[in-house]
Structure 1
Amino acid sequence: MAEGTGMSKALAGGIGVLTVSSVCGLVLMTVMYKIQIDKFPPVSPPTPTKPVIPTGLPPTLRLPDYLIPESYKVFLQPYFYSAITNNYTNQSFIFTGNSTVRVKCMEHSKRIYLHVHDLNVTTVEVTKSDSNEKLVVSGYKIHQNESNFLEIQLKETMSGHGTYYDIFTKFEGELLDNLAGFYASWYTKNIKFEHNYCCLFLFTVLHKNVSTNRFLATSLLKPTDARKVFPCFDEPALKAVFHITVIHRPGTSALSNEIGEIDGEEWIVTTFEKTPVMSTYLLAFTVSDFTYISKSSGTNIHIHARTEAIEAGHADYAIQVTENILKYYQNIFGLKYPLKKIDQIALPDISAGALENWGFISYQESGLLYDKKTASSFDQERVATMIAHALAHQWFGNLVTMRWWNDLWLNEGFATYMSYIGVQDAGWDLRDLIVLREIQTAFQVDSLNSSHPLSLQENYIQTSAEIIDLFDDITYRKGAALLRMLATFMTEEAFMKGIKTYLDKFQYNNTVYNDLWNCLQETKENVEAFMSTWIEQAGYPVITIITQTGETSQEHFLLLIHSNIVNFLPNSIPWQVDIRYIKSTDFAVKNELLRVNVRRPHFELKDKDDWLLANVNCTGFFRVNYDEENWNKLRMQLERNHNVIPLINRGQLIDDAFNIARGHRLNVTIALSLTKYLINDTEYIPWESALKNLDHLILMFDRSEVYGPIMKYLRKQITPLYKHFEEYTLNGTIPEKHTEQYNQVNAISVACSSGFPECIEMAKSLFKDYRNGTNDIHPNLRRAIYCSAIASGDEYDWEFAWKEYQRATVTAEKDKLRYALTCTKEIWLLNRYLQYTLDPSKIRKMDLVSTISYIAKNVAGQPLAWDFVRGHWSYITQEYGISLGSLLDAVTKRFSTDVELEEVLEQDEDDQALAARALEQVIERTEANIKWVKENKQIVKEWFMGEL
């Protein structure tokens, strides 16, 4: 890929030619303009009443509402060649284009505002649509601030009352390689999987040629980058129809939201059918030499990928899954998929797992392609889950779109929740795992003062940075968790009936969350009353039940309680909580609605041996605390016969206890005691829940004397689980049940990392055979085996794995090796690996965040990763076009000292603005960790010492 000065010279040459042409054009336009003005001087429109004409910039960063876009005609022409040969030596990484947007004007005005960012606009014309009368443009300006406004000033006034105008612009831009906007990328032709980035508006240009490297251009439009490609009204509610034409080099072909083709001679002109009415961020198209497979079952389904992948059958699984889930969604949503076709494309260089472009979905290769010879069952599950999520968006987000980004959860929360339902029709029963993956993860962020409500007021979210901040665990995971809670409260049948009404009523339109409540209330009353505080109020409650009296209370659960909490509703406005519970004397699930703190006779236990368990199957988004006596009864029940406690609740009890202890409401020894029974449990959900919470203890204490006793206890507890799966592991096989396959991997990872000799020797032996080519490792186990072997190995093991990573052609395999390389304890290797992340020829840009995060998880790598991120903070954001929010979270998880807090607080104000909310959350989490460690270090140490 062209980098540095290579790209700049090519750009300079291209822009030089375009500049001369532009100057000549401007001179000619000036002469013609003067002739036309002298011949037809402008006449002011009649003004029987003097309207209020907007002047100056709008008062907010939102576009004024008096112009409503109806359609766009967009022409785009990237100038680069996909391959450099003897015939093509003048590579130019620029693009030019023009756009005509037809708008309806609702108020008199002399100003027009559109969005433009990082584009050079060379021509602006405004014409009255019905008469083709040109309005005189007295000037235009791109505001270089957060508004990204292109302000067009007119000499005469546009008429309101629904008059139509056409706004024509010509523009040019640079194809950077920063994974944002319209940018350049590359891939290696002879390697099956590597390359390309795409998003809501996507270009990929590839060429059939003998040279190794192929250049391409792609674009990322979500959420606010359509303005980087062409001037537009870049807000989700300003939907329009799009007519797209791409002019591209010979030897290439094009795809888009709708398909049609016209060939030229020296250039190929590809014109697409008009799109449905849609938001700007959902545009997508590509120009490539990819091949595809197709299937028709009412809707034409195409899977596009590199020729090597298609010929190897790697797209076969995806096309079958797509057909199954698409039919299933059409059935349960009661609406046919509205387009004639759905294209899906595998793009190895894309920062998001998948992008839900309407009718043309783009994925990371590992999210769409499945190689049954080398991929694990977890890789296969990921393909099905990613497709289910992206297809759900075709209804939730594309057909019905949130009005503004403050209600993003209406898109992402729904797609996340529905993916667990949709994937069932592809043969995956993952519904219980939503507790581990979504609910428990959302709890962590939502227990901070710096969390945010699921739906904020519109005026709170205006800048692009504020919009990007909303793509977080609250929006995706809490959104999904609350929808699951609501479906349980209503019954799933009633919930889906209301969803059908919602989709049918608002198709092709935009909504706010109250529109959803209104539709759901047609099937069950009081939905709005039940859900209002859950949506409008940040955080969640901890329900405390005193079983001796039945007294029940709720309070806002926070890890760190500040004296002046201003971003939450006061606790006098309680959540409505649907408490589902069972007793040891009656296992029939019962439920109670809790609005205020009261005494509940239902929760009172008469017999000293009875216990109560609330939040059955963790359907409610809240934690439950009990009196110490009930906690001990539940612990004893787990130790006597854990199968009496529902599976999900075995994980929930552990997660609740540890986090309630972190919130200073429970003695940590009670939480620790709940893990003792696991020596007899082989189920994945409770083990995964326990390991996540014990991992937090490890992060807090792995640099202190407490670490040794923790590892000895963990080794003792994990040994029976390791032995349970040992025969499978040694035989290179896996259990049939999917969750057992996950737990087999847990057993290997934890046993080896905690120093269990048999596990370490097993991993080293398998890795040695793998190096010698005498034995293969089952794909399910490779990530754990590679990591364990490299952690206990030397630099030669690391170098071997690095070469294997470079040689690997399947992205899923590359990902396993890329992770394993972070497991070494050698500081110099980790430092070198960090430097590799800045070189896209070694570590793809899309993998930078996860690679550094993996290194930070390693106790030897954490300080290196933190210093690295601080040293390259601005560079990574500017050069790589990414937010540092997830990076900040990853490299500071271990922070629990005053010195580390000071380092976070010392970040420059300019740097803080790049990830303001994430930095605020890191500061609060670090403060909470400091306080908790100071109070509990000795208690934790003594407990583990007592268990040895």
Structure 2
Amino acid sequence: MCKLRGERDLAEGGLDVTKGREILPANVIAKHYDLTLEPDFKKLTYEGTVVIDLEVAEDSESISLNTLELDIHSTKVLSGETTISSSPELSYHEATQTTKIAFDKQLSKGSKAQLEMKFTGQLNDKMAGFYRSTYKNTDGSEGVLATTQMEATDARRAFPCFDEPSLKAEFTITLIADKHLTCLSNMDVASETEIHSEMSGATKKVVKFNKSPPMSTYLLAFIVGELNYIETDKFRLPIRVYAPPNQEIEHGQFSLELAARTLEFYEKTFDSAFPLPKMDMVAIPDFAAGAMENWGLITYRVVDILFDEKTSGASVKERVAEVVQHELAHQWFGNLVTMDFWDGLWLNEGFATWMSWYSCNIFYPEWKVWQSYVIDTLQGALSLDSLRSSHPIEVPVKRADEVNQIFDAISYSKGSCVLRMISKYLGEDIFMEGIRRYLKKHAYGNTQTTDLWAALSDASGKDVSSVMDIWTKHVGYPVITVTENESEKSINVKQNRLLRTADVKPEEDTVLYPVFLGLRTKDGVDESLVLSKREENFKVPDLDFFKLNADHSGIYRTSYTPVRLEKLGKAARDGLLSVEDRAGMLADAGALAASGYQKTSGVLNLLKGFDGEKEFVVWNELISRLGAIQSAWIFEDQKVRDALETFQRDLVSEKAHEKGWEFKEGDDHVEQQFKGMLFGAAGMSGDKTVIEAAKDMFAKFSKGDKSAIHPNIRGSVFGMALKYGGKEEYDVILDTYRNSKNSDECNTALRSLGRARSPELIKKTLTLPFGGEVKEQDVYLPLAALRTHPEGIEQLYGWMTDNWEELTKKFPAGLSMLGTIVSICTSSFTSQAALDRIQAFFTDKNTKGFDQSLAQSSDAIRAKSAWLARDRDDVKDWAYKAKTIKAEL
């Protein structure tokens, strides 16, 4: 069979395939790495030596470890004083990224050995492994720093290693660099000496760091470059924020102070001291993700750690706080205790996501983040998980190239939603006690999901795994259909799998979830009701008012009858529903219309009933749901599209004018975002007063008054300038991107450019990704806004197909950026014909590394096509009726 042949090939590459994973054989165990690296910024290479102390677990005549794009010069295998081999036979297996070292003498079980390798690596531009990051100095020259990104499987790109999360070892890092450069690693400095470098002929410094605790290779980090820093003494250990010299280091103050408070809070909450001697946080100019939790040396995108109150808005502050607290939570959940393999990624990311919301709520209660959670984290999870091409939270991972595709809304958002659900089920105090027991028992070790369930069961006395395994091991979630029985004062609730494509097959609807119903009535919330069967009847004290999934902490949608929805709309106006209830109800109604459970016209009428709403989060969801309808109808009849835009304008304008767009000293965090959102929604839907105000601000901004546009509405003003303007406005915004010293303003400008609709300006936007001035970390930013209009969607796809060869060279499939670009360039289409065109293009392409992104895009298109087929006439009729009503008024 083909499978057996594949297994034999893998075995020849030195891998163990007995556990259904392509993993390294366990014949030797790495205990300690002594790694020395010397980067050369002129050649953009580095010289390295690694000495790995090994314990021999089985009689061995070979050692297999991971390497990628390394030039290995020499290899020695030693056992005590004996050289086993000074020139062993090396064979490289490209598919599995392994080097097999074979030697004649045998290493005996129970003995100790050393593997020494000298090698050269590239300071690559892929934002992976040990790579180079560049920035512009104030004098126009280019600065370079060398930094790392090892997660998920790129430590092997930096040095030869046993690159799997369960293969923890201690590390002693030594960096050799020019004397004026800063050298950082996970640990603090043990010594600093000088040597005469043979490589450069100059006197250099040798910075040796103290030995680390046992840790996974993906958490290793080292940085060499010109860096400034600020520090605080408000925690028992030193905390510093570093940034390159082209950045205002003072803008790291917010993150610095937050880190000190957060580390102290986490130590108390987890009853576990942060075990490293310091915490450094570094702004990196080229960074593929948002941040990386390297133990004791967290790296960030510049925009996710540096924050200036004067030039950035409230939403940016919240994002920075969330990212900092997320990465610091990882220092325990992920770093101290690590999943044993990548199918347990959710243990890291789900918990860090939940913990960032939990701690943010305690630090900044006025931000009301648990309200935002309902429209942000929960909706992100439910949206992706309603596609057939989603995956379970515990997703089987077999190969290295599959790992990057699971850093998505399932591992992060659905994972955190499961933890929120279980914390509510057990009670927060008991949940946290379980977390403390988990961390104590498994410190410096590796775990599986069952270990977390065992700790929570131990703390609560409940069988947690029997409830939660169903949620983590299966893809998808249910829709709960509610019908009412007046005579018996009861409701019937029935669960079925929900798919956005509305084509669930019987074999896809076999899983029965334990659904926490959270029944809200006038008497309060009954958290004890659980639906574990296909359907069941429950008594309700008063059928006049009830609602399931109180505060929307459950992972499901609820489908009510039109009559009940109307009653719930009235209950919302009467103040009987919480903010989370109101926002979640709108989200469910919109999603269920898209999935064929309700008519879209009914949702539009429901949205109209919320025009008296007073809360930001509800308005945010209302505008998002309307936006989802507009996106599905983007290629439809212009009259219908105009009617949807008019509907949005009529809905939001009065509220936008009432709130205004002047930002006052007394405006709290939520109010600032509320004003900004309403201003943008009104203006982008054609409100003339708002558009004039935006034009006036933009005119002043164009003449040099950079304070004319408040940061909370910068994106909206830029968007209106591009939608209703032309080349002149485009050039001002492009110039802002090129010359602004503020990374947030740069990003906003770049993100806005795609809103320009003229063929000439679309073409100009599409030259930016490969034009040399946009960093590779940001190539998706100018592309995303092109999806806001039909012309842009078509041109985006054409750009992708025309440049496919260059894209695949620039963004290797094993990294995540190619999948992001494929998704942006394909997912906004709405017809089967468009999907056929996309599938024809990829028929003869190798989709390894982004096949999941492509499948999810395809599912999203199918879902919109089916939605339009069902409700195209329904929305058209609604539009004409709406116009008639307006004319009569």
Structure 1 length-normalised TM = 0.86
SS at match of 1:600: strand
Structure 2 CA distance, aligned partners of 1:872 and 1:167?
Answer: 44
Structure 2 CA distance, aligned partners of 1:628 and 1:725?
Answer: 32
Structure 1 CA distance, aligned partners of 2:273 and 2:546?
Answer: 46
SS at match of 2:575: helix
Structure 2 CA distance, aligned partners of 1:737 and 1:281?
Answer: 40
Task: Determine if the alignment matches structure 1 residue 510 to structure 2 residue 441.
Answer: no
Structure 1 CA distance, aligned partners of 2:835 and 2:106?
Answer: 57
Q: Which runs of 5+ in 1 are unaligned?
A: 1-53, 81-90, 191-209
- 1:188–1:213 contact (8 Å) kept in structure 2: yes
1:277, distance to aligned residue in structure 2 (A): 0.7
- 1:874–1:911 contact (8 Å) kept in structure 2: no
Give the aligned partner of residue 196 of structure 1.
none
Residues 1:563 and 1:802: Cα distance change in structure 2 (over 3 Å): closer
Give the aligned partner of residue 362 of structure 1.
299
1:327 counterpart (247, 264, 272): 264
1:574, distance to aligned residue in structure 2 (A): 0.8
Post-superposition CA distance 1:763-786 (Å, at most 9, x none): 111111222245622111111112
Give the aligned partner of residue 200 of structure 2.
none
2:136 counterpart (188, 191, 195): 188
Task: Determine if the alignment matches structure 1 residue 738 to structure 2 residue 673.
Answer: no
1:927 counterpart (856, 859, 862): 862
Give the aligned partner of residue 664 of structure 1.
596
1:805, distance to aligned residue in structure 2 (A): 1.7
Post-superposition CA distance 1:547-591 (Å, at most 9, x none): 22521111111122557577x5x52x41111111122x4344454
Give the aligned partner of residue 643 of structure 2.
709
Give the aligned partner of residue 29 of structure 1.
none
Structure 1 CA distance, aligned partners of 2:873 and 2:716?
Answer: 32
Q: How much is the aligned-residue C-alpha RMSD, in angstroms?
A: 2.0
Post-superposition CA distance 1:379-434 (Å, at most 9, x none): 22222111101100100110000000001000000001100112235435412211
Give the aligned partner of residue 871 of structure 2.
936
Give the aligned partner of residue 177 of structure 2.
248
Give the aligned partner of residue 849 of structure 1.
780
1:871, distance to aligned residue in structure 2 (A): 2.8
Q: Which amino acid aligns with 2:393?
A: L
SS at match of 1:264: strand
Structure 1 CA distance, aligned partners of 2:63 and 2:882?
Answer: 72
Q: Which amino acid aligns with 1:674?
A: L
SS at match of 1:262: strand
1:812, distance to aligned residue in structure 2 (A): 1.0
SS at match of 2:708: coil
Post-superposition CA distance 1:283-313 (Å, at most 9, x none): 11211221211122211111111346456x2
2:64 counterpart (113, 124, 138): 113
Give the aligned partner of residue 394 of structure 2.
455
Task: Determine if the alignment matches structure 1 residue 681 to structure 2 residue 624.
Answer: no
Residues 1:642 and 1:785: Cα distance change in structure 2 (over 3 Å): farther
- 1:547–1:603 contact (8 Å) kept in structure 2: no
Post-superposition CA distance 1:763-819 (Å, at most 9, x none): 111111222245622111111112112221121111112112211111011112112
Task: Determine if the alignment matches structure 1 residue 229 to structure 2 residue 158.
Answer: yes
- 1:547–1:612 contact (8 Å) kept in structure 2: no
Task: Determine if the alignment matches structure 1 residue 306 to structure 2 residue 255.
Answer: no
1:55, distance to aligned residue in structure 2 (A): 7.4
Aligned pair count reads: 846
- 1:75–1:99 contact (8 Å) kept in structure 2: yes
Q: Which amino acid aligns with 1:750?
A: A
Q: Which amino acid aligns with 2:495?
A: Q
Give the aligned partner of residue 71 of structure 1.
32
Q: Which amino acid aligns with 2:515?
A: V
Give the aligned partner of residue 370 of structure 2.
431
Give the aligned partner of residue 444 of structure 1.
383
1:249, distance to aligned residue in structure 2 (A): 2.6
- 1:102–1:166 contact (8 Å) kept in structure 2: yes
Q: Which amino acid aligns with 2:117?
A: T
Structure 2 CA distance, aligned partners of 1:668 and 1:563?
Answer: 20
Q: Which amino acid aligns with 2:145?
A: L
Structure 1 CA distance, aligned partners of 2:60 and 2:422?
Answer: 46
- 2:722–2:753 contact (8 Å) kept in structure 1: yes
Post-superposition CA distance 1:62-110 (Å, at most 9, x none): 1112221100011111122xxxxxxxxxx31222211111111111121
Post-superposition CA distance 1:510-536 (Å, at most 9, x none): 000000000000122021111110011
Structure 1 CA distance, aligned partners of 2:355 and 2:504?
Answer: 39
Q: Following TM superposition, where does structure 1 have runs of at least 4 consecutive aligned residues deviating by more than 6 angstroms?
A: none
SS at match of 2:183: strand
- 1:413–1:475 contact (8 Å) kept in structure 2: yes
Residues 603-618 of structure 1 aligned to structure 2 (within 5 Å): 603=540, 610-618=544-552
- 2:147–2:221 contact (8 Å) kept in structure 1: no
Give the aligned partner of residue 620 of structure 1.
554
Give the aligned partner of residue 89 of structure 2.
139
Q: Which amino acid aligns with 1:554?
A: Q
Structure 1 CA distance, aligned partners of 2:182 and 2:321?
Answer: 28
Give the aligned partner of residue 15 of structure 2.
58
Structure 2 length-normalised TM = 0.92
Residues 105-184 of structure 1 aligned to structure 2 (within 5 Å): 105-128=56-79, 130-135=80-85, 137-145=87-95, 147-160=96-109, 162-184=110-132
SS at match of 2:210: coil
Structure 1 CA distance, aligned partners of 2:288 and 2:341?
Answer: 23
Give the aligned partner of residue 555 of structure 1.
496
Structure 1 CA distance, aligned partners of 2:790 and 2:610?
Answer: 26
Give the aligned partner of residue 471 of structure 1.
407
Task: Determine if the alignment matches structure 1 residue 284 to structure 2 residue 241.
Answer: no
1:680, distance to aligned residue in structure 2 (A): 0.7
1:272, distance to aligned residue in structure 2 (A): 1.1
534-543 or 908-917, which deviates more: 908-917
Task: Determine if the alignment matches structure 1 residue 947 to structure 2 residue 882.
Answer: yes
Residues 1:756 and 1:924: Cα distance change in structure 2 (over 3 Å): same
- 1:179–1:880 contact (8 Å) kept in structure 2: no
Task: Determine if the alignment matches structure 1 residue 500 to structure 2 residue 442.
Answer: no
1:898 counterpart (799, 817, 832): 832
- 1:733–1:778 contact (8 Å) kept in structure 2: no
Q: Which amino acid aligns with 1:178?
A: K
1:853, distance to aligned residue in structure 2 (A): 1.8
- 1:682–1:721 contact (8 Å) kept in structure 2: no
Q: Which amino acid aligns with 1:900?
A: A
Residues 3-22 of structure 1 aligned to structure 2 (within 5 Å): none
- 2:385–2:475 contact (8 Å) kept in structure 1: yes
- 2:243–2:284 contact (8 Å) kept in structure 1: yes
Q: Which runs of 5+ in 2 are unaligned?
A: 1-10, 197-202, 884-889
Structure 2 CA distance, aligned partners of 1:309 and 1:79?
Answer: 24
Residues 1:289 and 1:55: Cα distance change in structure 2 (over 3 Å): closer
Residues 1:464 and 1:779: Cα distance change in structure 2 (over 3 Å): same
Residues 441-840 of structure 1 aligned to structure 2 (within 5 Å): 441-456=380-395, 460-524=396-460, 525-548=462-485, 549-562=490-503, 570-571=509-510, 573-583=511-521, 585-603=522-540, 610-638=544-572, 641-705=573-637, 706-726=640-660, 729=661, 731-733=662-664, 736-773=667-704, 776-840=708-772
Structure 2 CA distance, aligned partners of 1:673 and 1:590?
Answer: 31
Residues 1:682 and 1:886: Cα distance change in structure 2 (over 3 Å): farther
Identity %: 28
- 2:76–2:88 contact (8 Å) kept in structure 1: no
596-605 or 228-237, which deviates more: 596-605
Residues 1:399 and 1:776: Cα distance change in structure 2 (over 3 Å): same
Structure 2 CA distance, aligned partners of 1:131 and 1:112?
Answer: 19
Residues 1:757 and 1:68: Cα distance change in structure 2 (over 3 Å): same
Post-superposition CA distance 1:727-776 (Å, at most 9, x none): xx1x4547623223222122111111111111111111111122224562
Structure 2 CA distance, aligned partners of 1:153 and 1:327?
Answer: 49
Structure 1 CA distance, aligned partners of 2:85 and 2:702?
Answer: 73
